[in-house]
Amino acid sequence: MKTNTNRIRSHRSAAHPSPQVKSKRQPAEFKIVRLRECPVRSSFLSDPTELEKFWRLHVETAPHFDPERETLWAFFLDTRGNLKGFQQLSEGTKDTMLFNTADVFRLASLQSAARLIVAHNHPSGDPEPSEADIDATHKLLDASKILQIGLVDHVIIGDARHAPSFTSLNEHGHFLCRNPSRKGRLDSVLYVARNAVNEFMRVSRKADELMSSVRDAQNQLKKAAAAMTAYSKTETAVAS
């Protein structure tokens, strides 16, 4: 009799299974939200100087930006180097940057970015990279090679009132020399050549601006001399 009872109970359990236990954590649907518009003359980020200008204009003015803490930001680029968007990745302390390498490239994938630039600030105002900054750059470079999302540069932003106001770890050879030391590091030939060309172009632009100012001053002097001559002739005619 007990055996039959057990069989009946087992059949009832099969016909009417117990309700599934509800998990405390349920899957959710997500979406990327646009926070604010950041108008620029050109979205092309060609060098760290352009990135610094963008940082001063749009990152430092963000309502959630804290200049007393190191904050890491990623700037997502398309295949032509145009800025698609940017996002704060992490917020550290006054002298420490905290981040997860996987988070950097996960966000880049969500943005369908072909390349990216990372940048963070030094609240002290000195943009000199620390050993931790260099090690973090190497980790990002290793991940970028595996995930095939190019890391263009890692820029450290300092105080705009002092020169240099930023440091590009790419231009300082840390992308070309795999294990550089902070003291006595050797720059590669490519780094020296590139900096020489950049310096030549900068001086050339300054020279063009100076020559333009000189020509403007010469024109103003010619106009002043012509006015003085006309005045003298008028005075002479009146006196006679």
The stretch 213-226 carries a mean pLDDT of 82
Please count the other Cβ atoms lying within 10 Å of the Cβ belonging to residue 112.
Answer: 9
Range with lowest mean pLDDT among 39-43, 93-97, 162-166: 39-43
Contact 120, 72 (CB under 8 A): yes
Amino acid at 121: N
What is the SS3 assignment for 14? helix
pLDDT tens digit sequence for 158-197: 999 988 899 999 888 777 655 443 433 443 345 446 556 7
From the list 78, 41, 42, 40, the residue with the least C-alpha distance to 59 is: 40
Contact 141, 179 (CB under 8 A): no
- In which region does residue 155 sit, left (phi positive, over 0), alpha (psi from -120 to 50) or beta (all else)? beta
Per-residue tokens: 77: 């680029």
Name the burial class of residue 169, with classes exposed (0-12), middle (13-18) and buried (19+) by CB atoms within 10 angstroms of its CB.
buried
Q: What is the DSSP letter of 81?
A: S
The stretch 8-19 carries a mean pLDDT of 50
Per-residue tokens: 150: 């190019």
Give me the phi and psi of 73, to 5 degrees please.
-125, 150
The stretch 97-110 carries a mean pLDDT of 87
The CATH fold of domain 39-185: Cytidine Deaminase; domain 2 (3.40.140)
Per-residue tokens: 135: 């090690």
Q: List the chain domain ranges.
A: 39-185, 188-235
* Helix axes 131-147 and 101-110, enclosed angle (nearest 10): 40
Does 10 score more than 50 pLDDT?
A: no
CA 13, distance to chain mean position in Å, is 61
From the list 152, 143, 93, 147, the residue with the least C-alpha distance to 118 is: 152
Half-sphere exposure (Cβ direction) of 114: Cα atoms closer than 13 Å: 7
Band of the pLDDT at 204, cuts 50, 70, 90?
confident
Q: What is the pLDDT of residue 40?
A: 60
Q: What is the C-alpha separation between 8 and 212, in angstroms, rounded?
A: 101
Average pLDDT of the chain is 78
Q: What is the pLDDT of residue 226?
A: 80
Q: What is the pLDDT of residue 201?
A: 75
pLDDT tens digit sequence for 120-136: 999 999 999 999 999 99
Contact 156, 166 (CB under 8 A): yes
Give me the phi and psi of 39, to 5 degrees please.
-65, 140
Of residues 101 and 233, more confidently modeled: 101
Q: What is the pLDDT of residue 208?
A: 81
